[in-house]
Amino acid sequence: PNYLIGMIKVTAYAKEEPRFDQIIRTLYWSAIIICSIVFGFWKELILFWVVPFLTTFQMLKYWAEMAEHAGLESENEIFASRNSFGNWFERFLIHPHRNSYHLVHHLFPAVPHFNIKKAHLILMKDEEYQKAHHCTGFFFSTAPGFSSVIDDIQGRIPFWNKVKGK
């Protein structure tokens, strides 16, 4: 519940967002709600937008946030987020628009999503970038020599390392 409330606050009204943008968003959603009532599709709006936003979207967003940052606390930007390349289904659910190249996004936020893979391939020529966090798969690794996101997160938890004998 706290995560959900926090996400709604951040999504709906960010403190840094200009007041004009907040007014436009409020008018936009007011128009959608009014039109849904007037034209009789308010049930569909609730069923196909509100319910998914409050349930499955939040879970997928939480997993995406985990894939991007969980367990990575570093002053060095290159080690503060990770790329996570999964199978087509994971990319579809968790990382649409090539969000799986999250490290590239943090290092070069101006690169548009359709060029981010090219940027990653260029960056892979850099030795320090090669040492950064590149995971294949969320739950299970899909390539030898790489960890999954879950394995990468667990590898950074001191208790887990003691249990595993690391």
- Per-residue pLDDT tens over the stretch 102-137: 999 999 999 998 999 999 999 999 999 998 999 988
The number of folded domains in the chain is 2
Considering the domain architecture, whether residues 102 and 130 belong to the same structural domain is answered as yes
Considering the domain architecture, whether residues 150 and 112 belong to the same structural domain is answered as yes
- Residue 10, pLDDT score: 67
What domain range includes position 41?
A: 2-54
Asked which of 18-27, 31-40, 42-51 is least confident by mean pLDDT, the reply is 18-27
Considering the domain architecture, whether residues 38 and 119 belong to the same structural domain is answered as no
Q: Give dist(CA 32, CA 102) in Å, integer.
A: 32
Token representation of residue 56: 């499955």
Considering the domain architecture, whether residues 85 and 132 belong to the same structural domain is answered as yes
- Residue 4, pLDDT score: 66
Nearest-5° Cα angle at 31, 29 to 33: 70
- Predicted model pTM: 0.70
Considering the domain architecture, whether residues 48 and 67 belong to the same structural domain is answered as no
pLDDT by residue (tens digit) across 36-89? 999 999 999 999 999 998 889 888 888 898 899 988 888 888 999 999 988 889
Of 148 and 122, more confident: 122
- Residue 1, pLDDT score: 63
Q: Give dist(CA 2, CA 5) in Å, integer.
A: 5
